[in-house]
Amino acid sequence: MKKNIYFNHDGGVDDLISLFLLLQMDNVELTGVSVIPADCYLEPAMFASRKIIDRFGNGGVDVAESNSRGKNPFPKDWRMHAFYVDALPLLNESGKVITPVADKPAHLHIIETLRATEGKTTLLFTGPLTDLARALDIDPTIEEKVERLVWMGGTFREEGNVHEPEHDGTAEWNVFWDPEAAARVWESGIEIDLVALESTNQVPLTLDVRERWASERKHIGVDFLGQCYAMVPPLVHFSTNSTYYLWDVLTTAFVGKSDLVKVQTVNSIVLTEGASQGRTAETADGRPVNVVYDVDRDAFFDYMTELAKKA
Ligand code: AGV
Ligand code: CA
């Protein structure tokens, strides 16, 4: 039995690699894709997504553009990454783009696709939750069609990954971009699996992983991993907020193979105002979320590399 997956992402290197890996999973039926211009620019992220589906998928899926806007913009340097992926020769060899752009904006595309898909669908989100929050506002009955939400977002550690003026550093970026959207989804009855910084911090992109991909680059999919991650080079002599983790790829791998991680229930709220905005905070009377807090690192990297070899 294949799981229905609807994927909403925001065009970072790890978002686009996630799309590539989803297309290699035998146990996944990808029902729809949409792109939100949060940690990316929309045009190159749309083209890159469509070209990845052309190159590595079997067709039958369209890609919707989001017209959502966030409260706290991502740094431009990070948003540029989608241009680099879109420009890769591997994705431009055919000289054409076949996968269509959906005729509806992402939040309406979510509603339409959930309704048109038989049975329930797992929502996989690797950027902010704005499109889902808007979809729920328009049609709350879609909750019935949602199996669960698997989201890369949040943390219950003291340190988040937002280092911005007027912020205290406790938030994770996907929440911070649009805190109200996360708070709206928290109000819903949807079961939420949170792949939080607790686990993603355990999968930094280290040199040994890059070397492994280099040594196995005779497989076109493994070469694609190496080429994409070469766009986010390591800063080896000091740790900054530009250290790259496999945030979204871990989230996607969890969908394909849930026994890679450990999960624990936490009652929480999303803070929407002030210096801690975007922080997910544990509180006894908060709504329960399933937090992925631990991962078998070696098994995770083996799984993603083996998936890439199937391409
Ligand atoms: O907070 C992690 C989220 C993930 O969805 N993104 C990147 C992943 O796609 C934002 C982000 C945090 N630190 C970053 C990010 C960095 N150093 N470079 C690019 N994006
Ligand atoms: Ca992302």
Segment 186-241, tens digit of pLDDT: 999 999 999 999 999 999 999 899 999 999 999 999 999 999 999 998 766 665 55
CA of 266 to the centre of ligand 2 (A): 23
pLDDT of residue 124: 99
Among residues 184, 232, 200, 173, the alpha carbon closest in space to that of 36 is found at: 173
Find out whether the beta carbon of 39 lies less than 6 Å from any atom of ligand 1: yes
For 193, 196, 285, the CA distances from 288, given in Å and listed in that order, are 10, 14, 9
Find out whether the beta carbon of 200 lies less than 6 Å from any atom of ligand 1: no
Mutate to test the pocket of ligand 1, among 247, 248, 251, 280 (most ligand atoms within 8 A of CB): 247
Which residues make beta-bridge pairs with 3?
A: 28
Find out whether the beta carbon of 173 lies less than 6 Å from any atom of ligand 1: yes
Query: Which residues neighbour 190 within 8 Å (Cβ) at sequence distance 6 or greater?
Result: 123, 143, 146, 148, 149
Find out whether the beta carbon of 126 lies less than 6 Å from any atom of ligand 1: yes
Report which bound ligand comes closest to the CA of 78: 1
Among residues 168, 243, 153, 152, the alpha carbon closest in space to that of 205 is found at: 243
Query: Which residues neighbour 57 within 8 Å (Cβ) at sequence distance 6 or greater?
Result: 23, 30, 99
Q: Give φ, ψ of 162 to 5 degrees.
A: -95, 120
Q: Give φ, ψ of 199 to 5 degrees.
A: -90, -40
CA of 78 to the centre of ligand 2 (A): 10
pLDDT of residue 1: 85
Residues in the chain: 311
pLDDT of residue 233: 80
Find out whether the beta carbon of 161 lies less than 6 Å from any atom of ligand 1: yes
CA of 294 to the centre of ligand 1 (A): 19
Strand order in the sheet with 28-35: 63-65, 28-35, 3-9, 121-125, 146-152, 192-195, 287-295, 261-270, 280-282
Angstrom distance (rounded) from CA 22 to CA 252: 7
Protein residue with least CA distance to atom 11, ligand 1? 173
Cα-to-chain-centroid distance, residue 66: 15
DSSP output for 198-232: HHHTT-B--HHHHHHHHHTTTSHHHHHHHHHHTTS
What pLDDT, in 10s, does the model give residues 53-80? 999 999 899 999 999 999 999 999 999 9
Low-confidence ranges of the chain (pLDDT < 70): 235-242
pLDDT of residue 236: 65
Find out whether the beta carbon of 78 lies less than 6 Å from any atom of ligand 1: yes
Among residues 112, 102, 118, 101, the alpha carbon closest in space to that of 4 is found at: 118
